[in-house]
Structure 1
């Protein structure tokens, strides 16, 4: 019984890591193709450090600045400090009809994905 459980855990971990690898590759491809990268943190956080070329649209002003994102089928990558705000932004944009939105989560993840 323990062996079956162990094999199940190992397969689950492998599946999760391969999913993450696919997501990371997709993020890197989108950045390479010129996707719009949006930093949803505060202006102070953005000034201290941001992804090169990223546009700063804080989560609190996203609804009033949504027209700045362009067409609803444009590829958009969102990030923040820990992943919470970018996930909220992704949910909001999808509710607004944006179809090509990816949540990179943490700023450090975006840097590591693109530098690989």
Structure 2
């Protein structure tokens, strides 16, 4: 599984890179704070919403600590997507947070 650090994601965003971040946490978790511009798809709904994603674009999966996003990364990889897991999740995130 390909991984990217929270710091690498933050630096890419600060440099103006267009990233496709998918937050797989539950609604109440996302409401407490999320990375600006993130796409919210709870892990339990991910397989039902694959049709909304583009296999030609890379995605970065995010959760609280990296576990659920790791599972989400495996789901997307097994369905032919280009995907990375943000290691450490929101616990490792030091960038801007939107509430």
Shorter-chain TM-score range:
0.7 to 0.9
Q: Which has the higher helix share?
A: 1
Equivalence for 1:103: 85
Higher RCO (Cα < 8 Å, 6 or more apart): 2
Where in structure 2 are there 5+ consecutive unaligned residues?
none
- How many aligned positions are there? 90
1:79 aligns with one of 62, 65, 76: 62
Larger Rg: 1
1:108 deviation in Å? Answer: 3.1
2:48 aligns with one of 64, 73, 81: 64
Q: Which has the higher strand share?
A: 2
TM-score, length-normalised on structure 2? 0.77
Where in structure 1 are there 5+ consecutive unaligned residues?
1-19
TM-score, length-normalised on structure 1? 0.67
